Amino acid sequence: MPDAREQTELRAERLRVAVQVFDALPDYDAGFYPDTRPLVCASDVGLFHTSSAEDRRLAEACIDAQRDLRRREWGAVEALLGAIPPGGSIEDIYDLPAERALPALRAAQVCGWLREAEA
């Protein structure tokens, strides 16, 4: 019987495969991939079939969190780009009035793109 470390590593591998499968599934269902082979290798298919319902729910939760983060990051990019004057550059954001620059800078900070200055 596998020890706790092996069990943990096996579950992590199942999660990796399930995330890969579920993340690509909408594109596969939409017909973007004529063949499943580019999505998942044969050994991973077998591993995916051994995953439990709990493993699959965890993978779906990870994908939901990843998609939410991606939406927030795109929102931050849009806020930053929307605050830059036409024809300007990212550095121009520091010359904007606070009411225009702060929302964009806050969005960037929430995404982890900016760090507070250390004292």
Average pLDDT of 35-39? 63
**CA distances (Å), 66 to each of 4, 14, 55, 60, 95, in order?**
28, 18, 16, 10, 33
In the predicted structure, residue 56 carries a pLDDT above the cut 60: yes
Residue range of the domain that includes 11 = 1-51
**In this structure, how many other beta carbons lie within 10 angstroms of the beta carbon of residue 112?**
10
pLDDT at residue 91 in the model: 81
Residue 46, domain member (yes or no) = yes
**How far apart are alpha carbons 48 and 42 in whole angstroms?**
10
User: What confidence score (pLDDT) does residue 35 get?
Assistant: 67
User: Is residue 92 assigned to a domain?
Assistant: yes
In whole angstroms, what is the distance from residue 1 CA to residue 40 CA?
27
Look at 19 and 22; give whichever has higher pLDDT: 19
User: 98 pLDDT exceeds 80?
Assistant: yes
Helix, strand, coil percentages (3-state) for the chain, rounded to 5, are: 70, 0, 30
Domain count, the chain: 2
